[in-house]
Structure 1
Amino acid sequence: MHPSRPERPRLLSRPTAATSPLAYATLLLCMGAGSLSMPSMGFAQGVQRAASVVRHDIASGSLDQALNSFAATAGVVLSIDGSLTAGKTSRGLTGNFSVNDGFASLLDGSGLEAVQSVGGGFVLRRSAAKPKSSEAAARDAGVTTLQTVTVTARSESAESTPAPYSGGQLARGGRLGLLGNKDVMDTPFSIANYTSELIQNQQAATLADVLDNDPAVRMSSRGRNTSVGGGDNFFLRGFGLANRDISFNGLYGVLPYGSLSLETVERVEVLKGPSALLTGMAPSGGVGGAINVVPKRATDKPITRFTAGYASDSQWGGHIDVGRRWGEDNQFGVRANGVYRDGHTSTSGQSVALAAGAIGLDYRSDQLRASFDLGYQSDDAKAAAVGYRLAPTLTAIPLPPKAGERFAQNWERRTYKDDYYVAQAEYDVSPVWSLYGAAGARNHHHTNFRTESRILNPAGDTTTSPVNYPESSKSKSYLLGTRVKFGALNAWHELNIAASSMDIEAGYAFAQWQGFASNLYRPVLVENPFQTGAPFAGFMDTRQASQTKLSSVGISDTMAWHDGAVQLTLGLRRQKITVDNYAGTAPVNNWISGYGKSVNSPAVGLVLKPWDHVSIYANYIEGLSAGATAPADAENAGQAFPPVKTKQKELGVKVDFGHVIGTIALFELQQPNAITVPGNAPNRYRYVMDGEQRNRGMEISAFGEVMRGLRVLGGVTYMQAQQVRTQGGINDGKSAIVAPRWISNAGVEWDTPFLPGLTLTARTLLTGSQYVNAQNTLQLPGWARWDVGARYLTRSFGRPLTLRANVLNVANRSYWEGSAGSGGIVLSAPRTFSISATMEF
């Protein structure tokens, strides 16, 4: 066995049954006085309560929360020393239990026990010591040889979901691709794992709504219920991440494009920084981070839940969520979710219809976990425009128009339709050896009949062109891997090997009509060009345009010493990228160009735990994007460059205070850029990868429950993103585009003492100014947004009922939120009200 280390003292602990040392002491004094004055009565009543059986429905979460909920329902007094429960979680409790049986179930595996006092109450203490095994005695004697390995628990399932942390908004850990599920304190990266509880309570409609909580993320565009009405796209640590780069349980290429419906999602897991070793190259080559969604699974407790909702201006809908398990050990499970919403949004003239559904089947046993997910999503947005592009001659960004005003034509329409299928399995060959695999597919269709506008001057004059740009794609994705745990060289090893492949065939059509003059503040309405028969350039039928194949093999070894106090991860991934381009504008799709390159991506991560509640970590990891090809008029025309490596160095500290986890991270990312240099002849040039963007910054974040009934979530990022070695050095030292120096998010939830069941929430988002051109002559001003909300837990007709209300952008502020890349700059979403009622059956 790997050597153990003595329990390390916690730097901070606090009593959780009382809010201060004085109150805690007073509680103990009262209990003692009561036991002296009425010893026989108190003890008799305590025994009577301990023997009574009561129904309990306690959700998973922090251990102290579960214990206090149990004590309140059972009608007993429980004294808790916060240092005993700090950082511990509970799986919850459902069913009829006596007091003693309930405490035993909740505390199983925690090393704690609840002991009844003379006064009839209960006191939490460490479990009585058991006789040591020969292995434990050997460890205590200092024996560190690893020739004999004894494992009593089966290997951790990659399908298992880490428990929520104190407060329930984030989880203790999440999936890290090749490395499987990792606790946040054992992870040499900055991660955030948002729970379904947060998604439901904030009534998050899209991934963008969830990531509004993250201080390392900003949106390059928002989808549903905004003036854009397209897909959610993100910036993490100053680099873009497209919505098609989101993975499903670690598998790329299967989730719907555009704006994912979150009614089918259990977790949203975010890794800050590149992830080539962990996940392989993302389909679109996003390198700022990785986002993974975890589907819902049936729980041991039956679920029948219906939610009716409304969002301004007049959008109504409903969501049904049903989950059941059956079999002798509840080994079979099914979870079904369906949602439909339709109506006008807060943007004038716009309406959106959403229909989505998913069924998740799963099987679990001691050795085998298997699942199959089937999903469909249809998103239909009418009068949905895109961002505004900028003319090369523009000298200043005009003031934003009023959020919520009408900007799109009546006939503009964007629809996304996706169906997807994913099968996954994991098998424990032995307690230390697991095999796993996954296969998935997606069919995607996107109709895109809209306008494109280019801002010409600070007065807001634009030239606007109708365009028809439908696209479709088919993708297949596969994953096969193994995980082995063993002892060697005085360390405990976890060896991971995985191979993945993805094949995407994409096609599109493109037609563009003659532009017309308009204005940001006084949009000009024109007739549908299809109805008028106006001439256009392009073609209407969708044709194959490209085929992309991504395949890779990754290997990692995580070594642990001193019972995990020192953890070192070493890894390497071999990635192959193949791209074939076809004549998409021609009636016959002839092959016109191709690209095939392979590259190795190493990574190293280190975690040091000088105390149980402190982790110091460092990493070097790379991100991958498809390499560029020299244009036809360059001297090196057609030269294909290797995949672009974005290199990250990071150093950070994480502290678990028992109910709050805080992280401070310092990072640097370097990404090569293509530039042109003089050629071998006059007026000729060569296309080379010799430029660079360098993003340096610091992130500070925290989440958890700072005191009973008060939860916090947020942080701040300071970043300096600079251009290095630019074309002819003209922009050297200038800021990179769409990379604000300061961004901050802060959210708070308060369970009101004056009305049990009522929770009030507030959140603010702050973003500094950002440049939108390399010359740094065009700048978007900084902005701030406030959101508020409330929810109330009660009962109706004998059933649990949760009422929720949220208001986004309370002040209805108008601002340029950011840049959508080729889509130009994007306007803020207007003030939006959302209310819902969820009934449990």
Structure 2
Amino acid sequence: MISSKKKYLTMAILSAISSMSFMASVSAEEVTDSNLENYDLENVVIEEKVEDNNSNNVNTNNSILSGEFVKTESSLGILGDKKVMDTPFTQMDLTKKTIETFGGPNQPLQSILINNPAVRIQGTNLHNDFSIRGIRGNGTSSYLNGIPGLMSQFNAPTFFIEDIQFISGPNSGITSLPATYESSAAGGIVNFVSKKATDIPITNYRQTFSGKGSLGEYLDISRRLGKDNEWGIRVNTEWLNGETAISDNDMEARGIYINVDHQDEKSKSNFLAGYRRLNIEGGARWFSLDSKAIGKDITKIPNAPDANKNYGINGLAKEAFGYVLALNHEQQMNDDWKWFFNAGLNKNKLERNIIGKGSNFVITNDKGDVKTPLMSTQTDTKNYYAQFGVNGKIESGDIEHDLTLAYDRAWRSIGSAKDNYNGKMGSIVGNIYDGLYGENVWFPEIETGTSSKDRYWGISLVDNLKYKKSQLLLGIHKHNSIATNYNNKTGETKQKVSTDEICPTYGYVYQPDEHISVYASHSENFDKGTIVGSGYKNTGDILAPAKTKQNEIGVKYQNAGFLTTLSTFNIKQANNIDVNKGEDLYYLQDGEQEYKGIELSFNGKLADKWNFMGGLMYLDATQNKTKDGINNGKTVNGVARWNGIAALEYNPDDKFSIIGRAIYTGSADMYNEQLKAPSYMTYDLGFSYKTQFKDTPVTISAMCYNLTNKDYWTAYGNNLILNNPRTFMLSATFDI
């Protein structure tokens, strides 16, 4: 199916290259990369260019920390660009170097995100699921250039991404509407920032080989033109095809993203347009355990099977395509005040999704036997977003106020399969050690219909007060939503819920000197509210949006090219549970889970030739309120107490580097402490070398993921995810 789009994609790429060739002939003065980022676009600053042997690695951003894995300044929602030392939250910004070093073509997105110690891998090549501080999230709970709802849940691309920004913990107060308007963003905010045109022209061609036979080709072209280089264009393309490290798991991807920015004395604008089609055959890695067999036929977590095997049959696949548009604009009104506008849309269609019922395969006993009905679904998602706001500074004596007022609206509609044919398409049977096969399998045609439409609007007011060595952040966000569910076969309205909620944010920062920052904060997040379904005494009632609240205290230290953050946090997340009242069963917002932890991260230069990145998180996740109190005090399912990451790079000279990484995930309780998924540690090892072919600079890189080829499970709630096997990746980047 992908091949039918090749002609149009090729025409788009050739058109972009032609445009680049034309712009290369335009003479203009060099200016620095404006780095137009999320919401508040950073000021243009002329800086000395620091260049290495490969001109693509020009560093004109003095916010990049020594070692070049993280930045010390990034966007903080509607507050705009803020230095890490000035914010009352745990904040991290992973750079392009981190993305390119750990983001192999066939690696899941989590291979990059895991460099933040608050993040835990919980996804595969098929899905971008992860957790932050123990709370689940995925691609759709992320942001793109500060705009919610534009990233995909399925194998989100990173070839057009410049850096990835994190704010740990719930924080609707500074990000306005949540990305998916549900609680999946409650663990933290992830913002992907697209590549912008640089002051020095770039024409890069990259070839990759990974897995058993996956070939990739990537173009990265950047030019600035016009008076004072005020216009910039950056084009990134992808062509990927072949077998991953998982046997018979084929992946095809075609994509093009074009970023255009403009800057002058009074305004900054950025426009991103992108299209991508993805087809993954096989590669299923999700399993669950038959809950009725726990304590009987299932007495332990079965040993992880061979990760090289493909646990799917011919025809099991996921195919999706979609496009995004994102616009950021900022207009200076005077020296102190400006207004900004952000808007975006995303249309994404999952047009083929054939997998086990519930998206996993069910293990029925200790031997590893499997029997699961098949399902086939489609999803058609449309997201629209618009935001308008003003920002300005007011001085009151020795106190400086940095005020932001923003209003935003969002629209979201989902179309789903009219019949997913659960149990009607045959089954997957077999054994996880001997192999799985299909039984009475057939693949029906799927029709879709609108299943839900949601509307959201909100208003945010934030004041960041500065007084000598102290900063006080005060913010409030008012949220309204109307969520409507439809019978996707008839189009009739099934349920409609209207809710509103207020979320405050406040924090305090004290900096006794330029190297130390001590902070404390409170932040919140909420979902869209719930209509009680059938089977309950209170069927049809509207439950208020469930809130997630966090209190955090921390200290940050930055000196001599090194940044360390140590924080302790407490998160309480409300949820809905079944409640028995006499002989009647109610569905009420009476549940609660609590996440208490300590998080440590450190990044920068250890010595002249040694760069380091790493961190550690201890997390105590507890079920405080459960149905009839049966599981009160037990661990939240699938949450490990310990996570750790350490990456060390050695640069013997300016051409050669060696990098190694170790990732540790502790054991995790499942099924309310009846079973336990074991801990595991994995290692990655790679190198890069800069050379020249005639007059063309070339960077040759190699990486081996899961160096020891360890087989292991990752717990995801009460599900088990089988890891990717050892994967080799080779690449050559030509700076033309």
TM > 0.5 = yes
Displacement of 1:222: 2.0
Contact 1:349/1:410, CA 8 A, preserved across alignment: no
Residue deviations 1:52-78 (CA, integer Å, cap 9, x gap):
xxxxx9999xxxxxxxxxxxxxxxxxx
Q: Using the alignment, how far apart are the partners of 2:61 and 2:588 within structure 1?
A: 45
Residue deviations 1:699-723 (CA, integer Å, cap 9, x gap):
0110011211211001100111111
Residue deviations 1:672-723 (CA, integer Å, cap 9, x gap):
12233333xx521222212211110100110011211211001100111111
Q: Using the alignment, how far apart are the partners of 2:438 and 2:588 within structure 1?
A: 45
Matching residue of 2:338: 434
Displacement of 1:270: 1.1
Matching residue of 1:610: 512
Matching residue of 1:424: 328
Displacement of 1:413: 1.1
Displacement of 1:295: 0.7
Q: Using the alignment, how far apart are the partners of 1:271 and 1:528 within structure 2?
A: 48
Q: SS at 1:529's partner residue?
A: coil
Contact 1:221/1:818, CA 8 A, preserved across alignment: no
Within the alignment, does 1:624 sit opposite 2:526 as a pair?
A: yes
Q: Which runs of 5+ in 2 are unaligned?
A: 1-29, 34-44, 52-58
Matching residue of 2:621: 721
Within the alignment, does 1:501 sit opposite 2:409 as a pair?
A: yes
Q: SS at 1:373's partner residue?
A: strand
Which is further off, 272-281 or 693-702?
272-281
Contact 2:139/2:151, CA 8 A, preserved across alignment: no
Displacement of 1:633: 2.3
Find 1:546's aligned residue among 435, 449, 452: 452
Find 1:777's aligned residue among 669, 674, 686: 674
Q: Aligned pair in 2 of structure 1 residues 433, 548: CA closer, same or farther (>3 Å)?
A: same
Q: Using the alignment, how far apart are the partners of 1:162 and 1:500 within structure 2?
A: 32
Matching residue of 1:12: none
Contact 2:145/2:326, CA 8 A, preserved across alignment: no
Residue deviations 1:560-609 (CA, integer Å, cap 9, x gap):
011xx20000000001122100113x3x1210001110000001011100
Q: Using the alignment, how far apart are the partners of 1:805 and 1:264 within structure 2?
A: 20
Q: Which amino acid aligns with 2:320?
A: Y
Q: Using the alignment, how far apart are the partners of 1:612 and 1:743 within structure 2?
A: 30
Q: Using the alignment, how far apart are the partners of 2:662 and 2:553 within structure 1?
A: 27
Find 1:557's aligned residue among 458, 463, 467: 463
Residue deviations 1:521-542 (CA, integer Å, cap 9, x gap):
12232378336x8xxxxx8211
Contact 1:254/1:477, CA 8 A, preserved across alignment: no
Contact 1:58/1:94, CA 8 A, preserved across alignment: no
Matching residue of 1:79: none
Matching residue of 1:833: 728
Q: Which amino acid aligns with 1:522?
A: D
Displacement of 1:91: 3.8
Residue deviations 1:236-295 (CA, integer Å, cap 9, x gap):
001011211111111012233412211111111111111111213231432000100111
Matching residue of 1:413: 317
Displacement of 1:386: 4.6
Q: Using the alignment, how far apart are the partners of 1:517 and 1:614 within structure 2?
A: 58
Contact 2:171/2:523, CA 8 A, preserved across alignment: yes
Contact 2:285/2:311, CA 8 A, preserved across alignment: no
Q: Aligned pair in 2 of structure 1 residues 378, 92: CA closer, same or farther (>3 Å)?
A: farther
Displacement of 1:488: 1.2
Q: Aligned pair in 2 of structure 1 residues 341, 528: CA closer, same or farther (>3 Å)?
A: farther
Contact 1:744/1:765, CA 8 A, preserved across alignment: yes
Q: SS at 1:93's partner residue?
A: coil
Displacement of 1:161: 7.6
Find 2:355's aligned residue among 441, 450, 456: 450
Find 1:523's aligned residue among 410, 429, 435: 435
Q: Which amino acid aligns with 2:570?
A: E
What is the 5 A alignment of 1:8-407? 91-93=47-49, 163-205=63-105, 206-223=108-125, 230-279=126-175, 280-283=177-180, 284-286=182-184, 287-392=186-291, 393-394=293-294, 395-407=299-311
Q: SS at 1:540's partner residue?
A: coil
Q: Aligned pair in 2 of structure 1 residues 203, 776: CA closer, same or farther (>3 Å)?
A: closer
Matching residue of 2:659: 761
Displacement of 1:747: 0.4
Q: SS at 1:638's partner residue?
A: coil
Displacement of 1:664: 0.4
Contact 2:429/2:437, CA 8 A, preserved across alignment: no
Q: Using the alignment, how far apart are the partners of 1:256 and 1:593 within structure 2?
A: 26
Residue deviations 1:364-418 (CA, integer Å, cap 9, x gap):
0011111211101111101132511221123322111111112110111101211
Q: Aligned pair in 2 of structure 1 residues 617, 162: CA closer, same or farther (>3 Å)?
A: farther
Displacement of 1:311: 0.4
Displacement of 1:90: 9.3
Percent of pairs identical after alignment? 27
Q: Using the alignment, how far apart are the partners of 1:191 and 1:177 within structure 2?
A: 12
Q: Using the alignment, how far apart are the partners of 1:58 and 1:365 within structure 2?
A: 12
Contact 1:464/1:518, CA 8 A, preserved across alignment: no
Q: Aligned pair in 2 of structure 1 residues 517, 358: CA closer, same or farther (>3 Å)?
A: closer
Q: SS at 1:342's partner residue?
A: strand
Matching residue of 1:793: 690
Displacement of 1:639: 1.2
Q: Which amino acid aligns with 1:468?
A: S
Q: Using the alignment, how far apart are the partners of 1:248 and 1:203 within structure 2?
A: 18
Find 2:705's aligned residue among 808, 823, 838: 808
Find 1:467's aligned residue among 339, 355, 375: 375
Find 2:572's aligned residue among 667, 670, 682: 670
Q: Using the alignment, how far apart are the partners of 2:336 and 2:585 within structure 1?
A: 58
Q: Which runs of 5+ in 1 are unaligned?
A: 1-56, 61-88, 96-105, 107-159, 224-229, 534-538
TM superposition score normalised by structure 2 = 0.88
Displacement of 1:627: 2.4
Q: Which amino acid aligns with 1:402?
A: D
Q: Using the alignment, how far apart are the partners of 1:242 and 1:632 within structure 2?
A: 29
Residue deviations 1:43-100 (CA, integer Å, cap 9, x gap):
xxxxxxxxxxxxxx9999xxxxxxxxxxxxxxxxxxxxxxxxxxxx9944279xxxxx
Displacement of 1:724: 0.6
Q: How many residues align?
A: 671
Q: Aligned pair in 2 of structure 1 residues 244, 162: CA closer, same or farther (>3 Å)?
A: farther
Q: Using the alignment, how far apart are the partners of 2:104 and 2:118 within structure 1?
A: 18
Q: Which amino acid aligns with 1:246?
A: S
Q: Using the alignment, how far apart are the partners of 1:672 and 1:527 within structure 2?
A: 42
Q: Using the alignment, how far apart are the partners of 1:195 and 1:442 within structure 2?
A: 25
Q: Using the alignment, how far apart are the partners of 1:732 and 1:530 within structure 2?
A: 44
Q: Using the alignment, how far apart are the partners of 1:782 and 1:375 within structure 2?
A: 39
Q: Using the alignment, how far apart are the partners of 2:172 and 2:263 within structure 1?
A: 30
Q: SS at 1:581's partner residue?
A: strand
Q: Aligned pair in 2 of structure 1 residues 632, 162: CA closer, same or farther (>3 Å)?
A: farther
Displacement of 1:653: 0.3
Q: Using the alignment, how far apart are the partners of 2:507 and 2:368 within structure 1?
A: 49
